């Protein structure tokens, strides 16, 4: 049996649970990483990454197979990331797990503590921390574009597909984002 | 120099431009120190971003997967309720009838303790369901719980 992502998605449309499990297995890490990168909030990323798979299960029949499955799935996921504030929050209130630490830490707190090693390595590490802290402060769509480009290594055409906008728009988002990031580094 | 190809620089650096556009940007860069500097800085920035992506926090995948399953099942349950209201109403009445049989009839008369166990089990099952379903269904199940309370009073009256 063919096990490409696209073939699995067609099987999910026929309510094949094993195919769904395989796609979850293949894409859950990417979904989690991408949702977290865009939202910078562990609980929201958890919610949205699960949401994307629920949507995948329900909408698998509408996957036309013209695009790559990964692009289609990224679109489900990124749309949910960008919308998440507008969505109904009942589930999170209902299923909040007290056993888990809240995901409110900042990016800087998550960075490993810099070694006491004055010089290039330290200043470089600080520069990288400042850079990603600046990515955190970008508007959501710009952050999504930077993340899809730097982290998922998608081309401009693929990012346009994911965000359902023109390549020119992606270029403008990326240009603005990089300009902001550059200014941040130069100010240091 | 007018018309600096600012938004083309990143696609140029990533090799994404069509040949004609690529040649146009290359020509511009030859004659424009400002854009050359921009291109060099952007190149460094893109490289740095690509190399230094911070990893997401660790996650307990077993729990994540269980939540996904519960949420998906809850949504399927909700759809079933909207799309098939009659069978659910029917199954609710069947459950009610069963309860009446268990509480009032059945082989032998259950003791007070047995009744408590039966009720706890039924309540437990309902509460488990309750955790997974949405507000609309919750209302309906609360009605079930109300029925159980009524039966409880009935049983107490018949005992007393
Ligand atoms: Zn120029």
Secondary structure tally for chain B: helices H, strands E? 7, 0
Q: pLDDT tens, A33-75?
A: 999 998 889 999 999 999 999 999 999 999 987 788 999 999 9
Give residue A93's pLDDT band: very low, low, confident or very high (50, 70, 90). very low
B10 to chain A, any CB pair closer than 8 A? The answer is yes
Burial classification of residue A48, based on how many CB atoms lie within 10 Å of its CB (0-12 exposed, 13-18 middle, 19 or more buried): buried
What is the reported pLDDT for A156?
Answer: 92
Q: Cα Rg for chain B, rounded, in angstroms?
A: 34
The 3-state DSSP class for residue B35 equals: helix
- Cα dihedral A180, A181, A184, A185 in deg (nearest 10): -140
Instruction: Answer yes or no: pTM beyond 0.80.
Output: no
Is A108-186 assigned to CATH 1.20.120.140? no
Q: In the predicted model, what is the mean pLDDT of chain B?
A: 70
What gap in Å lies between CA A145 and CA A175, rounded to an integer?
A: 10
Closest Cα in chain A, distance from residue B72 (Å): 6
Tell me, in angstroms, the distance from the centre of ligand 1 to residue B44's CA: 18
| Across B15-35, average pLDDT | 95
pLDDT above 80: residue A28: yes
Q: CB-based contacts of B11: which residues, under 8 Å, 6+ apart?
A: A156, A171, B17
What gap in Å lies between CA B39 and CA B27, rounded to an integer?
A: 13
| Across A148-173, average pLDDT | 93
| Domain that residue B69 falls in | 62-102
Interface of A with B in 124-143 (CB under 8 A): 128, 131-132, 135
What gap in Å lies between CA A70 and CA A78, rounded to an integer?
A: 12
| Across A121-143, average pLDDT | 88
A96 to chain B, any CB pair closer than 8 A? The answer is no
Shared fold status for A5-90 and A108-186: no
What gap in Å lies between CA B141 and CA B133, rounded to an integer?
A: 10
Contacts of A57 in chain B (CB under 8 A): 72
Closest Cα in chain B, distance from residue A28 (Å): 9
**What is the architecture, at CATH level 2, of domain A5-90?**
Orthogonal Bundle (1.10)
pLDDT above 60: residue A161: yes
Both B13 and B39 in one domain: the answer is: yes
Q: Any idea which residue has 């507000």 for tokens?
A: B135
Q: CB-based contacts of B8: which residues, under 8 Å, 6+ apart?
A: A171, B17, B21, B25
CB contact under 8 A, A50 and B49: no
What is the reported pLDDT for B159?
Answer: 46
Tell me, in angstroms, the distance from the centre of ligand 1 to residue B30's CA: 9
Give residue B17's pLDDT band: very low, low, confident or very high (50, 70, 90). very high
Question: Cα–Cα–Cα angle for A40, A42, A43, nearest 5°?
Answer: 125
Residue B1 domain-assigned (yes or no): no
What gap in Å lies between CA A63 and CA A57, rounded to an integer?
A: 11
What is the reported pLDDT for A166?
Answer: 96
CB contact under 8 A, A178 and B46: yes
Residue B109 domain-assigned (yes or no): no
B11 to chain A, any CB pair closer than 8 A? The answer is yes
Q: pLDDT tens, B46-62?
A: 999 999 988 999 999 99
A46 to chain B, any CB pair closer than 8 A? The answer is yes
Structure tokens belonging to residue A60: 């698998």
Both B70 and B47 in one domain: the answer is: no
Structure tokens belonging to residue B75: 């949504």
- DSSP letter assigned to residue A21: H
Domain boundary assignment for chain A: 5-90, 108-186
Q: pLDDT tens, B92-149?
A: 555 555 555 545 544 444 444 554 554 555 545 544 444 544 443 444 344 444 444 5
| Across B70-79, average pLDDT | 84
B112 to chain A, any CB pair closer than 8 A? The answer is no
Give residue B1's pLDDT band: very low, low, confident or very high (50, 70, 90). low
- DSSP letter assigned to residue A106: -
What gap in Å lies between CA B131 and CA A95, rounded to an integer?
A: 8
Q: State the total domains in chain B.
A: 3
Of A161, A174, A2, A142, the closest CA to residue A70 belongs to A161
| Across A126-142, average pLDDT | 90
Tell me, in angstroms, the distance from the centre of ligand 1 to residue B27's CA: 10
B7 to chain A, any CB pair closer than 8 A? The answer is yes
What gap in Å lies between CA A148 and CA A142, rounded to an integer?
A: 10
User: Among residues of chain B, what percentage have pLDDT more than 90?
Assistant: 42
B153 to chain A, any CB pair closer than 8 A? The answer is no
Q: In the predicted model, what is the mean pLDDT of chain A?
A: 81
What is the reported pLDDT for B153?
Answer: 54
CB pairs under 8 A between A and B: 97
Residue B45 domain-assigned (yes or no): yes
What ipTM score was computed for the predicted complex, to two decimals?
A: 0.76
């Amino acid at each position: 049996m063919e096990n490409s992502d696209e073939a699995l998605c067609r099987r999910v449309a026929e309510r094949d649970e094993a195919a769904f499990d395989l796609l979850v297995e293949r894409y859950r890490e990417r979904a989690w990483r991408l949702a977290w990168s865009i939202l910078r909030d562990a609980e929201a990323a958890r919610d949205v990454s699960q949401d994307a798979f629920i949507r995948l299960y329900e909408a698998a029949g509408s996957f036309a197979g013209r695009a790559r499955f990964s692009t289609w799935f990224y679109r489900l996921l990124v749309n949910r990331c960008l919308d998440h504030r507008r969505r109904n929050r009942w589930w999170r209130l209902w299923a909040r797990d007290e056993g888990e630490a809240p995901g409110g830490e900042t990016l800087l707190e998550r960075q490993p503590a810099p070694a006491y090693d004055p010089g290039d390595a330290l200043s470089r590490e600080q520069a990288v921390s400042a850079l990603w802290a600046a990515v955190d402060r970008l508007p959501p769509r710009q952050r999504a574009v930077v993340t899809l480009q730097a982290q998922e290594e998608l081309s401009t055409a693929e990012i346009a597909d994911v965000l359902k906008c023109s390549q020119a728009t992606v270029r403008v988002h990326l240009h603005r984002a990089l300009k902001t990031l550059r200014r941040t580094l130069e100010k240091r | 120099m007018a018309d600096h190809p600012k938004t083309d620089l990143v696609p140029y650096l990533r090799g994404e431009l069509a040949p004609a556009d690529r040649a146009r940007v290359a020509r511009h860069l030859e004659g424009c120190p400002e854009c050359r500097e921009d291109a060099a800085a952007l190149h460094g920035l893109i490289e740095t971003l690509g190399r230094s992506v911070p990893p997401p926090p660790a996650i307990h995948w077993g729990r994540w997967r269980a939540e996904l399953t519960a949420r998906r099942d809850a949504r399927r349950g909700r759809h079933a309720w909207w799309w098939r209201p009659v069978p659910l109403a029917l199954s609710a009445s069947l459950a009610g009838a069963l309860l009446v049989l268990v509480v009032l009839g059945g082989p032998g008369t259950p003791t007070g303790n047995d009744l408590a166990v039966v009720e706890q089990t039924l309540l437990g099952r309902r509460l488990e369901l309750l955790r997974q379903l949405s507000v609309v269904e919750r209302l309906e199940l609360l009605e079930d719980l109300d029925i159980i309370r009524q039966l409880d009073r009935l049983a107490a009256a018949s005992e007393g």
